[in-house]
Each structure stands twice: as C-alpha cells, then as structure tokens.
C-alpha cells in the first residue's frame, strides 16, 4: 500500500512523477489526508504547476487550519501567482500562529507593496529583523514608492553592500540617487544596468525617469518613446511622457495620455454607475456628476471648468471631500454638493474633475482664468479681520510645507534654514497652513493651527492678507483662485502644470513663479521672493 512516507522519499530523491503517483494512490484511498495534500501541493509546485499547488494547499488548509507550515506554503504560492490580496490575508493568519516570523513578514510586506499599500508594506518590512539584501531592497522599494528618497537610498545601499554585483539593485539605486539630486551618479548606475540587459523595459523606464528628474528633457522624451515602443501600455512610462508633453504646453497630445493617471492613483470618490462623459455627448438638461480626485490643489485649480458645464445647460453635482464642501458652495455652476464619504449620487453621466480638461478640449491659451472664481464667506472674513487686528506692515500669508504626513512633500518644502531666511523679510507673516513650526514661531509668524478648521475658514483668513508666499501646495491654488497675489516657490523639478522656465502662469494671472536654480537649493528663490515683496 502506497504511503505519504514513500511519496516523501521519492520527492526527496527528485522523482516527482513517482511521488505524484504515490500520493495519487494515497488520496484516492484517503482524499482528506492533509499531509498527502500538503505534499502533493509541494510536488505540483516543484513541477511548476502553481495553480494546482494553490488548490491543493487550500484543501490541506481547510482540513488542518492550525498547521503553520501549510499556511505558510499556501501564502508563498499565492504570492508567486500574484494573488497578493489573498497572500496578505493568509500571511496575516500565519503570523497569528507564529508572531514575528521574519519570512512571513517579508512575504506579507512584499504583497502589500505589490498592491500599492506602501505604508502597510513598510510597517511589515520594518519588523523583519534579517540583515539580508532582499529585505533591504524591498524596504528601499517601499520607501521609494512613498518618496522617502534619502531613506530609500540608504536601504538600497545596504542591499548593495551585501550584493555589490546585483544589477537589479543598481537599477533601483538610480532613481533614488536622482531624487536626492545626485544626478551625476544616477545616470551611470542605470546605464550599467541597461548594459547588462539593453532591452529590459523596466530599466529603460528608470533611465527615462532619471533623465526627466535631472531636467534633461530632450533625452527623457526619447527614452520614454523607446520604453513605449517595447511596452505600449506601461502606465508609468505613459504618465512620464504625458508630464513632459504637458510641461511643454502640448495639451493636444498630453491630455489624452493624462487619463493614465487613473491606473496609478487610488480613487478618492466612490465608483459611479453613470457612463463617462467624454465631451462628445450633449449635456443640456443632463445631470453631470463631477468627482474630485488627487490633491486639494487639483480641486482648486480644475474646478474652474465647472461653470462651463453649467453654461452648456448641465446640472452639475460635485462630489468632493467634506472639508472642501463649504468653500465649493461659492463656485458658480454647482447645483449640488455631495461628500466623498457617501455613495456616488445618481447622474446621467459622470466625469473625473481633471478629465474636464480633455472633455472640454483645453489648450494652454484657452484656459479660463476668471479670477476670482472662489469666494470666502463675508461673516468669516469679518471674524478673521477682528482676530488679526490692524496691520502695521504688509501682511503676508506663508505656507512653507505640505501635509507633514506625506513624505513626498519634503522635496518641495522649505527647510528650516530657508524658512528662517524668508521670514527675515520686512513683513507681518501669517501662517496659512495647519501644521505649526518652531522656526515660524521664533520668526514671529502668527500661527492658528486647528483654528483653520476647513478650507472655507482658510479662504476667509487669506482674504485678510495682502498676498501669499507659498510652496507648491493646495494653499497656493486656493489663494490664486481667490484672486490674491501669490508668490509661488517651485522646486527644481516642478510639476507639469507650471510649464517650463516661465515666471508667470496661464492658470492664475495674479501669480508669479520663482524656481530653484539647483536641486534642493532655495537660496535664489528666497532672495527673489524677498525682493518681490519689497517692490
């Protein structure tokens, strides 16, 4: 009579066919033998039949749910199959049986990263107490996805210290180097990787990205085209090319590509059952659901297109985050507001907010800029006027950083030295952000923190200021939409919407742009802004 022990011996000798035959006989006699099912899954896995192995592990797990070995193997196969949601769940169940297991945490973190859940992935990977190259590399990947580039570079360097000849690790290192401004090192790293695999589309995409970050626009465009010739549906490459086209002011070719953002960014609003409005269908007499997306700055910038929908006869419903709804009541053309926390309202058609640019066939020279198009409530304005009291000097709003919990804001925020230099200007500075700063407090900046409860409150505060000095964040867009003079401080790698090498912008006629001359160096920007404040 064939047995599991016999099958295991055959498996150990590499006789997969013999082991499979022996296990087949066992399972015919005892189809609920968990050990036989577990070993059969191992045999199928060794043969390369991952779906078959996953099915066998599932059967074994149902029969023996507390068997940690079965649970771990099941999670590993699901990870290899790319069934990452299931892997995360099963690895979590395994970790309840064996808390702190390093391999399970590594597997869980890897699957979380594959799902785009990078904060959770990093939390799991940070618990992996193994000084191993693959662990450091996966941490570096998660940190890079969160745009925590200095930490990402440190993790990748630790991986390379253990595996100095690893081409994939050097390819990972290139974008990390670029994003800390070490361009001269970044390009050779990715060139080395490409030399070993000239047709590797992933490496080609990283080279295009590095060239883009370094500001080598012509070379980056060519590089993106090479990637897309090999992988026409590569979302990151499509988005990279799109950013370059839009940054050049080529909306005709760039806006269709901008729709790829939906493959890269999570939704902020619930899915709508209404068909998508693409601009071709008449909207007169129709209810159009416009759904907010991306950051608050995107809302304040792109909501300017909603009045055009209303002018065409549409009844516009805007669905956005709760903290914006009070302010959005002031926007012309909005018939109804809905919270992003609620289901999508009924509508004849829906459209993501930024897709209005494509649907309305926008060009740089046709961007509507009827400044102001957002308005603060008179009662709130009066209340803030009383809080601020009489002005002794020019009263200047200042925003020096983005939301502190979003690491990607760091590279476009002022460091403490730059903030101190800015605050030395002869003006009464008022913070227009909720996050507080000890440097700002030492510089005499009036900070109101959580008293700025929502954007309607912030708009009322801004109305009491003479101008606003801001980094590239939602505050700058809000002040611009309110019609305030804005001095916008841009990093070396500025977003596409500010176009290239311009000191003005078609989005806000009341805004001046000040750009970093060197990566990470705010000195020229601060000097120019201070001069502008004295004009």
pLDDT beyond 70 at 409: no
pLDDT of residue 71: 83
- Identify whether residues 357 and 476 lie together within a single domain: no
For residues 408-423, average pLDDT: 84
pLDDT of residue 476 exceeding 70, the answer is yes
Q: Do 113 and 35 share a domain, yes or no? A: yes
**Rounded CA gap, 147 and 140, in Å?**
10
- Give the Å distances, CA to CA, from 32 to 49, 93, 108, 337: 21, 22, 29, 57
Give pLDDT, residue 72. 86
pLDDT band at 67 (very low <50, low <70, confident <90, very high): confident
Check whether 321 has a pLDDT greater than 50: yes
Q: Which residues of 264-295 are buried (b: 16+ CB within 10 A; e: fewer)?
A: eeeebbeebebeebeeeeebeebbbbbbbbbb
Q: Give domain status of residue 185, yes or no.
A: no
Residue 217 falls inside a structural domain: no
For residue 22, the Cα-to-chain-centroid distance in whole angstroms is 51
pLDDT > 90 fraction of the chain, expressed in percent and rounded: 65
405 pLDDT tier (thresholds 50, 70, 90)? very low
Q: State the pLDDT confidence band at 497, using cuts at 50, 70 and 90.
A: very high
**Is there a single domain that holds both residue 397 and residue 346?**
no
124-141 per-position pLDDT tens digit = 999 998 889 999 999 999
Last residue of a domain, one of 337, 366, 395: 366
Q: Torsion angle of alpha carbons 19, 24, 26, 31, nearest 10°?
A: 140
Instruction: Among 342, 366, 390, give the residue marking a domain's end.
Output: 366
- 330 with 409, same domain: the answer is no
The mean pLDDT value for 17-44 works out to: 81
User: The domain containing residue 309 runs over which residues?
Assistant: 287-366
Q: CA–CA distance from 506 to each of 93, 373, 497, 502, 503 (Å)?
A: 54, 15, 9, 10, 10
Instruction: With cut-offs at 50, 70 and 90, classify the pLDDT of residue 274.
Output: very high
CB 417 within 8 A of CB 523: no
- Residue 408 pLDDT exceeds 70: no
Which pLDDT band holds residue 1 (cuts at 50, 70, 90)?
A: low
Instruction: Assign residue 144 the CATH number of its domain.
Output: 1.25.40.10
How far is residue 331's CA from residue 353's CA, in Å, rounded to a whole number?
A: 14
* 211 within some domain: no
CA–CA distances in Å: residue 170 to residues 131, 134, 175, 204, 471: 18, 13, 10, 13, 33
Dihedral (Cα; 288, 294, 299, 302), 10-degree rounding = -70
Q: Which residue, among 344, 335, 374, has the nearest Cα to 455 in the 3D structure?
A: 374
- The CB-based long-range contact list for 37-46 (8 Å cut-off, 24+ gap) reads 37/63, 38/64, 38/67, 38/69, 38/70, 38/73, 39/4, 39/7, 39/8, 39/11, 41/73, 41/74, 41/77, 42/11, 42/73, 43/7, 43/11, 43/16, 43/19, 44/20, 45/73, 45/77, 46/11, 46/16
Are 461 and 323 members of one domain? Answer: no
Mean pLDDT lowest among 6-10, 58-62, 152-156, 287-291: 6-10
* Average pLDDT value for the chain: 91
Query: H-helix or E-strand containing 431?
Result: strand 428-431
Q: What are the pLDDT digits (tens) for 283-316? A: 999 999 999 998 899 999 999 999 999 999 999 9
Give the mean model confidence (pLDDT) for residues 497-521: 94
Q: Is residue 161 part of a domain?
A: yes
pLDDT (mean) for 349-353: 97
Span 227-255, mean pLDDT?
93
Can you give the pLDDT at residue 339?
A: 95
> Locate tokens 């011996």: which residue?
9
The total number of structural domains that make up the chain: 3
Residue 504 sits in the same domain as residue 452 = yes
CA dihedral 12, 16, 22, 23 (to 10 degrees): 90
> What local confidence, expressed as pLDDT, does residue 403 receive?
58
Residues 510 and 451 in one domain: yes
- Residue 401 has what pLDDT? 86
Is it true that the peptide bond before 142 is cis, omega within 30 degrees of 0? no
Q: Is 67 helix (H, G, I), strand (E, B) or coil?
A: coil
Q: Which residue has the tokens 């039949």?
A: 49
pLDDT tens digits, residue range 32-50? 888 888 878 787 888 888 8
Residue 406: the pLDDT is: 47
């Amino acid at each position: 009579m064939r047995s599991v022990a016999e099958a295991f011996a055959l498996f150990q000798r590499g006789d997969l066919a013999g082991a499979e035959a022996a296990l087949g006989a066992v399972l015919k006699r005892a189809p609920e033998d968990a050990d036989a099912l577990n070993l059969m899954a191992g045999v199928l896995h060794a043969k390369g039949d991952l779906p078959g192995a996953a099915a066998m592990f599932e059967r074994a797990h149902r029969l023996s749910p507390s068997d940690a070995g079965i649970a771990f193997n099941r999670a590993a196969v699901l990870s290899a199959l790319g069934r990452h949601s299931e892997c995360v769940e099963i690895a979590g169940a395994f970790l309840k049986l064996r808390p702190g297991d390093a391999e399970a945490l590594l597997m869980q973190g890897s699957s979380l990263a594959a799902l785009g859940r990078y904060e959770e992935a990093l939390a799991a990977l940070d618990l992996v107490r193994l000084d191993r190259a693959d662990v450091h590399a996966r941490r570096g990947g998660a940190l890079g996805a969160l745009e925590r580039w200095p930490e990402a570079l440190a993790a990748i360097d630790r991986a390379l210290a253990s595996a100095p000849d690893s081409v994939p690790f050097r390819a990972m290192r290139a974008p990390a180097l670029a994003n800390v401004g070490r361009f001269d090192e970044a390009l050779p790293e990715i060139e080395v990787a490409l030399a070993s695999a000239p047709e590797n589309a992933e490496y080609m995409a990283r080279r295009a990205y590095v060239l883009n970050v370094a500001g080598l626009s012509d070379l980056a465009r060519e590089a993106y085209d090479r990637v897309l010739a090999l992988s026409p549906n590569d979302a990151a490459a499509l988005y990279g090319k799109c950013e370059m086209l839009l940054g050049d002011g080529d909306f005709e070719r760039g806006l269709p590509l901008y729709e790829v953002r939906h493959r890269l960014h999570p939704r902020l609003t619930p899915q709508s059952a209404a068909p998508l409005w693409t601009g071709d269908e008449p909207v007169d007499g129709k209810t159009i659901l416009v759904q907010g997306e991306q950051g608050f700055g995107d809302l304040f910038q792109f909501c300017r297109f909603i009045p055009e929908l209303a002018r065409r006869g549409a009844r516009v419903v805007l669905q956005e985050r709760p903290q914006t709804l009070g302010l959005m009541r002031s926007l012309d053309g909005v018939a109804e507001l809905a919270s992003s926390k609620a289901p999508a309202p009924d509508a004849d058609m829906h459209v993501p907010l930024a897709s209005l640019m494509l649907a309305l066939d926008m060009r740089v020279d046709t961007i509507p800029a009827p400044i102001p198009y957002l308005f603060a409530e008179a009662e709130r304005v009066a209340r803030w006027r009383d809080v601020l009291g009489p002005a002794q000097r020019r009263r200047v709003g200042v925003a020096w950083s983005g939301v502190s919990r979003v690491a990607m804001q760091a590279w476009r925020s002022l460091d403490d030295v730059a903030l101190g230099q800015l605050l030395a200007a002869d003006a009464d500075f008022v913070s227009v952000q909720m996050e507080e700063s000890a440097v700002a407090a030492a510089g005499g900046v009036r900070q109101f923190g959580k008293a700025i409860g929502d954007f309607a409150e912030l708009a009322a505060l801004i109305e009491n200021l003479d101008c606003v000095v801001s980094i590239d964040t939602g505050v700058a867009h809000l002040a611009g939409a309110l019609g305030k003079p804005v001095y916008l401080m841009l990093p070396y790698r500025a977003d596409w919407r500010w176009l290239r090498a311009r000191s003005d912008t078609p989005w806000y006629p009341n805004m001046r742009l000040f750009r970093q001359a060197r990566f990470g160096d705010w000195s020229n920007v601060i000097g120019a802004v201070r001069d502008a404040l004295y004009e």
